Amino acid sequence: MKIKNRKIGRLPEVIEELILTVLVSVFAFVFASGIGYYEWVPFGGVYIGLIVFTICMLWFGYRRVLESRKIYSEQKKAEKALRESEEKYRLLADNSRDIICLHSADSRYVYLSPSCSMVLGYDPEELIGTDPWELVHPDDLKPMQEIAGKKTLEGKSALMAYRIRKKSGDYIWVESVSQSIIGDEGEIIGFVTSSRDITERIKVIDELRSSERLLCNVIDASPNCIFIKDKEGRYLLANKAIADLYGTVPENMIGKTDSYFAERGAMRTEECGLFREQDLQVIKSRKPLYISEEKITTKEGAVRWFQTTKIPISHMDDPDCVLGVAVDITERKGIKDELKEAYLELKEIQDQLIQTEKLAALGRFASSIAHEIKNPLGTILGGIEFLERKIKVDDKDIDIAIEKIKDTILKADYTMMSLLKFARPSELKRERISPNVLVENAASLLRYEISLNNIRIEHDFGRGIFIDVDRNLIEQVIFNILINAVEAMPDGGTIVVKTSRRVEPKLSPDKPFCAIEITDTGEGIPEENLSRLFEPFFTTKKEMKGTGLGLPTSKTITQNHGGDIFIESEYGKGTTVKIILPLAEGGR
């Protein structure tokens, strides 16, 4: 900026100018009046025209004097204000901690405030006439020149942060504001800069950035998923663990929602909706939310289980944000499920052992009193048959009563015999035999019942399979299962018997077994009864149709052979019973 200085005249000079003006005016009047052509009119020895003219000139001069005095007064005030302003700004410059500089058009120092000594260690006189760019750090020089040049061409102030060399040779950070000074013709005649030492600020910023990097590294190193979302569900922060889960990097998650990733298959839509409901609940209630188990299905279809805590927080200027920490418990849950399954299996075995022990105890009791029971039963049965032969009564009610008595006696005798098997288990008479033969023998005993109930038996026999078993006992087991299947289909149906060689994980993870699978198309077994099928005396058959000892006895026999029995059933669709037995040595 260029300030024009106007010279202010002194009062005597104004008076001289006034007198000169009056004389010139009089002369001009005399000359213009044409003295030779007009008659002068005297008035008290003075010419009226001259007097009038002179008075006018004096009035005009007086007015000029007043104006000059006013201008003079205003100029004096302006000079005083300018001096005060200069003193004030010089006082500010001299006492400012910032370096105030005036540069020539070629950027060289013309003036530097005294703070230059405190900040840079140079006396201002040492830098007058030098190029400021010589003090700028080499790494900052080119960027700063580009910024300054661009802003200068645009006529704007330039704000720059860079390193500058002190007299000691050390570099400090300064922040400078530079403004061009424009001359009367619009040309740049210089620059004014104000520079402030920001070394401590930069140090604090660097420390904050270092702390931020450390925090980010810690967050990214955590195996737990850590994230912050705003009230719209957009991610404001996401660590590497959750980014890996979604198949991306943390930077790509910022500003995106779970819906965005669900649309790209990184998670299921229903899972995304559940997460959104949880976030809104936390924001609305302003209370933490603990989720003991939740799952995320990855793009590959793998299911990962998490234990998540969500907390309401304020982030930046947004008070409605959610901080979440999700711990991957997939492995823990797997172990937990395995332990639970093992517990259930052990409990099942324990229950079976308890039931077996109960049955054995009952068998031992029955053995001790079998004599006292079987002999009377035999006597009663013999007496009933004798009476039936000797007494000829044409009465259907009596015939029915006699048959019921006989059935009851036979059932009691069968029950006693079953109990005695637990009390005195016979030694197994093993022999190598094909399971197919045992199935055919057992089925032949039920040929009449099968035909009577309009039931079809289909076979799917495996070849070359042999087992080493007591054939009579295993035939009894197969018979028990087949008779149950027949009784489950009073209106007809199909029984499919399949023999095969298979691995049974419940018995051994790699050892092969022989499997005899008997499947019927009956009504099936209600789910609530499945766990009780091997309990002694438990039966789903109608009265007088079963003792409830067939399956427990069959299971005991099978287990004594090193195998087991498993039942699968769906109510209304049928039942499959799997008899699992060890293969004979060399039995494929």
Mean pLDDT of the chain: 81
- On the 0-12 / 13-18 / 19+ scale of CB atoms within 10 A, 339 is exposed
Asked whether the CA dihedral 125, 130, 133, 134 is positive or negative, the reply is negative
Least confident range from 24-38, 156-170, 172-186, 476-490: namely: 24-38
Comparing 172 with 86, the larger pLDDT belongs to 172
Q: Is the pLDDT of residue 552 over 90?
A: no
Check: CB of residue 441 under 8 Å from CB of residue 475: yes
Residue 71's pLDDT band, with cuts at 50, 70 and 90, is confident
Which H or E run contains 175? Answer: strand 171-182
Q: Is the pLDDT of residue 455 over 80?
A: yes
In 3-state terms, what secondary structure has residue 273? helix
Check: CB of residue 503 under 8 Å from CB of residue 510: yes
Check: CB of residue 566 under 8 Å from CB of residue 549: no
pLDDT digits (tens, 9 = 90+) for 235-249: 999 999 999 999 899
Q: The tokens of 390 are what?
A: 């000797």
Q: Is the pLDDT of residue 16 over 60?
A: no
pLDDT digits (tens, 9 = 90+) for 412-431: 776 777 666 655 666 788 99
* Distance, C-alpha 283 to centroid of its chain: 16
pLDDT in the model for residue 126? 94
The percentage of the chain sitting over the pLDDT mark of 70, rounded to a whole number, equals 78
Pairing of strands 493-503, 455-460: parallel
Distance from C-alpha of 13 to C-alpha of 9, rounded to nearest angstrom: 7
For tokens 């002694």, the residue is 536
pLDDT in the model for residue 187? 83
The percentage of the chain sitting over the pLDDT mark of 90, rounded to a whole number, equals 35
Check: CB of residue 465 under 8 Å from CB of residue 588: yes
Distance from C-alpha of 107 to C-alpha of 440, rounded to nearest angstrom: 113
Q: The tokens of 409 are what?
A: 């006696």
Q: Is the pLDDT of residue 343 over 70?
A: yes
Same topology for domains 96-203 and 224-328, yes or no? Answer: yes
Q: The tokens of 52 are what?
A: 């009038």
Least confident range from 102-116, 289-303, 513-527, 530-544: namely: 530-544
Q: What is the dihedral of CA 476, 480, 486, 487, to 10 degrees?
A: 140
Give the 3-state secondary structure percentages of the chain, helix then strand then coil, rounded to 5: 50, 25, 25
Comparing 130 with 317, the larger pLDDT belongs to 130
Count of alpha carbons within 13 angstroms of residue 138, beta-carbon side: 0
Q: Is the pLDDT of residue 199 over 70?
A: yes
pLDDT in the model for residue 530? 84
Check: CB of residue 152 under 8 Å from CB of residue 189: no
Distance from C-alpha of 504 to C-alpha of 377, rounded to nearest angstrom: 44
Q: Please count the residues of the chain.
A: 588
Mean pLDDT of 311-334: 89
pLDDT digits (tens, 9 = 90+) for 530-545: 878 877 777 776 654 5
* pTM of this structure: 0.46
Distance from C-alpha of 438 to C-alpha of 567, rounded to nearest angstrom: 20
Check: CB of residue 236 under 8 Å from CB of residue 289: no
Which long-range contacts does 384-390 make (Cβ < 8 Å, 24+ apart)?
Answer: 384/409
Mean pLDDT of 495-517: 89
Residue 350's pLDDT band, with cuts at 50, 70 and 90, is confident
Q: The tokens of 179 are what?
A: 């403004």
Class of domain 430-582 as given by CATH:
alpha beta
Class of domain 96-203 as given by CATH:
alpha beta
pLDDT in the model for residue 359? 65
Mean pLDDT of 351-364: 71
pLDDT in the model for residue 37? 40
Q: The tokens of 530 are what?
A: 């499945």
pLDDT in the model for residue 51? 64
**Domain spans of the chain?**
11-92, 96-203, 224-328, 340-423, 430-582
The closest of 444, 533, 526, 521 to 489, measured between CA atoms, is 521
Residue 478's pLDDT band, with cuts at 50, 70 and 90, is very high
Superfamily of the domain at 224-328: PAS domain (3.30.450.20)
Q: The tokens of 395 are what?
A: 């009465």
* Distance, C-alpha 291 to centroid of its chain: 13
Specify the fold of 340-423.
Helix Hairpins (1.10.287)
Identify any residues that bridge with 229 across adjacent strands, giving them in sequence order: 235, 322
pLDDT in the model for residue 342? 85
Q: Where are the alpha helices (DSSP H) in 307-464?
A: 330-390, 396-423, 435-444, 447-452
